[in-house]
Amino acid sequence: MAEESGAPVNCTDLPLKRPRQDEKNGGSAAAMETEGDNNDTSNNVNGADGIPSVIPGWFSEISPMWPGEAHSLKVEKILFQGKSEYQNVMVFQSSTYGKVLVLDGVIQLTERDECAYQEMITHLPLCSIQNPKKVLVIGGGDGGVLREVARHSSVEQIDICEIDKMVVDVSKEFFPDVAVGYEDPRVTLHIGDGVAFLKAVPEGTYDAIIVDSSDPIGPAQELFEKPFFESVAKALRPGGVVCTQAESIWLHMHIIEGIVSNCRQIFKGSVNYAWTTVPTYPRHWCDWFHALLN
């Protein structure tokens, strides 16, 4: 995909981003056991119905969002484990996908395939309008979307609203090639709730809004409902564009149908569906909706 200057946007071998969910809300039950004294995880958990989700030396991801299946990665070393005000945060070194960021048991990005997600969710909307100048990113605390937005020379202002500061700090430490986006002088970081931030934005502020959201479970459910898209439309200038992640067509058709219905009522310009393959996402698939405000 090319940016406005005509220079190619390269898909480097970096990490990926993906929806997260809260275990307290029936979310994922991820389990990991690694070999060796330095990686003891004696508090391994079981998956659905009490079936063990642990294979020695592997991280496994089980969730009601993708029932009946799980994705596993071989673990070489756990690099970080912590609990923020909002979620459990972990980084581990995998044997095949480089370093991996996990939030509440759900893989957010890996160094190997993050480019597929970051580039599509960013360049799809920004290349669909002329000379975008003001861009808002909701979520995306790892900084990968910022990195891609910064490739567009016409952009003068990049705001990001991320609720969890630990995600930002951990990304800067362990994923510098992704979090490099924070170093751009056009970027302003706002730590807080994206829904509340958007409601306070003056009408017609942004040319583009990119919603790098969590799974529609718990608090993130708001980001998939009609009132949220109405707030997005209010914050966009006429002719502005929004792009939001929309789960997987193989697993979440009901979610996709709801987004289509809401967006067609609110965004009178056009509403389009896009997808790409992301190996470490459920069914190796990720979808987006791209809507223009007429």
Q: What is the pLDDT along the chain (294 residues), one digit of tens a residue?
A: 433 343 433 333 333 334 443 334 444 445 554 444 444 444 444 444 433 344 678 888 766 666 667 778 899 999 999 999 988 999 999 999 999 999 888 888 999 888 888 898 999 999 999 999 999 999 999 999 999 999 999 999 999 999 999 999 999 999 999 999 999 999 999 999 999 999 999 999 999 999 987 655 555 567 667 788 889 989 999 999 988 876 666 665 667 776 777 777 777 777 777 767 777 665 444 444 556 555
- Sheet-wide strand order for 187-191: 187-191, 157-162, 134-139, 206-212, 236-245, 285-292, 270-277
Facing residues of 71 across strands?
61
Give the active site residues.
212
Query: What per-residue confidence (pLDDT) applies to 293?
Result: 54
Alpha helices, DSSP H, located in the chain: 114-126, 144-149, 165-174, 176-179, 194-200, 226-235, 253-266
pTM: 0.74
Q: How many residues does the chain have?
A: 294
